[in-house]
Amino acid sequence: MIPGRSRGGPWVLLGNAALLVALFTGSYLIAAAAGSSQGWPPWSGDIVLAAAGLLFLGLAFLFPLHAGLLNLGIHAQFLAGFIAGSLVARSADILPGAQGLLGLIAGAGGGLFVGVVMAWLKRKLAIHEILSGLLLAAMLVPVARAFGVEPAAAPALEIQLGTLARTLAWAPGLHLAPSFVMAWGILLLALGIGLGLLAAHLLRASVRGFELRAVGSNPLAAVAAGVDVDAMQMLTVAAGGACAGLVGALQLWTDPAVALERWPVPLGFAGITVAFLGGGYLRGALVAAIVLAVWLNTPGVAAALSSPLWGGAMALLLVLPAFWNLPRLIPDQGAPRAIWRTRHRETV
């Protein structure tokens, strides 16, 4: 959660729940109309991998939000991660066994770099993170596409979880080997859950967490209390960028076309939906990531998202939680103008 900024009450929860019901019902009806409702209720091992990706994207938006930043550069960080991961995963000079791990690390580094650039632009040139994030995303889309939309060869490293894998019903929508999905999906999901829970604990219990909450709630008071607001904001947007970049690199082995060509619904922005559906809570984002991952793997959703009409309608539904979640999550310094404020000091 964002401690100290919860004013939504049951209506926010109800709104989020109603939206999820609408999503599931709508996609079921679409699938039924197209005669492809078989396989309901959904289950696929891909859910694990999708949930891991969505959780990291949610964290990518939530970390900066705690410092009062709206990380709309999440897709730029995602693409930077994809590009950095491609450089490693498609390189013949790197051992196949190391490509997976190094690709993910490179992806996280790429996303982190974009996050730092955004924070630097805000600090030095007073360019708002919304503007810089969207511009960087627009710049990186053609660069990412230049690296190709074909999946990279699956990394050689596989964790043998054969017994567990065989016990699960398997409907591999991404056409990946169960061992790959289990290995990387469970590993990353566990990492994401651990990271989220650790961050939630540190926010409550640590001095830096206290300072971060102060920065996010009232930057003016944080400055007066001696907190280095610029450093805090850079730290969180860099951490968020690393999370988004990691997911971007992960996309290399799953379905790059989804990451690069699903415009105007860029995959990176799914993190914003996860954050809002989770009510701005780190723990809520975990639940939202799993629920959305389940929804993404229901029959007919992939086809519906590809259709301009149904895809647009679902994208609209996914944007809706912002309307009742965002107003209670933005910093308390005179909204609504605050959201456009580029500096946290009133005087220079």
Phi, psi of 147 (to 5 degrees): -85, 0
Residues 275-334 contacting other proteins, CB under 8 A: 332-334
Residues 1-20 contacting other proteins, CB under 8 A: 4-5
Q: Does 337 bind other proteins (CB under 8 A)?
A: yes
Closest contact distance (angstroms) between CB of 95 and other proteins is 39
Size of the site for other proteins (CB under 8 A): 27
Assess contact for 195 and 88: CB atoms under 8 A: no
Closest contact distance (angstroms) between CB of 235 and other proteins is 15
Q: What is the 3-state secondary structure (H, E, C) of 103-133?
A: HHHHHHHHHHHHHHHHHHHHHHHCCCHHHHH
Closest contact distance (angstroms) between CB of 199 and other proteins is 15
Q: What is the DSSP string of 33-88?
A: HTT--TTPSP--THHHHHHHHHHHHHHHHHHHHHTT---TTHHHHHHHHHHHHHHH
Closest contact distance (angstroms) between CB of 223 and other proteins is 7
Q: How far apart, in whole angstroms, are the C-alpha atoms of residue 276 and residue 61?
A: 9
Angstrom CA distances, 166 to 159, 169, 179, stand at: 14, 8, 10
Residues 31-60 contacting other proteins, CB under 8 A: none
**Which one, 4 or 97, has the nearer CB to other proteins?**
4
Q: Does 348 bind other proteins (CB under 8 A)?
A: yes
Angstrom CA distances, 324 to 31, 61, 63, 202, 327, stand at: 29, 17, 20, 27, 7
Closest contact distance (angstroms) between CB of 3 and other proteins is 8
Angle at 110 between CA 125 and CA 172, to 5 degrees: 135
What is the per-residue binding string for other proteins in 174-213, x denoting contact by CB under 8 A?
A: -------------------------------xxxx-xx-x
What is the per-residue binding string for other proteins in 210-229, x denoting contact by CB under 8 A?
A: xx-xx--xx-xxxxxxx---
**Which one, 129 or 211, has the nearer CB to other proteins?**
211
Count CB atoms within 10 A of the CB of residue 71: 30
**Which one, 39 or 209, has the nearer CB to other proteins?**
209
Residue numbers of the site for other proteins (CB under 8 A)? Answer: 4-5, 205-208, 210-211, 213-214, 217-218, 220-226, 332-334, 337, 345-348
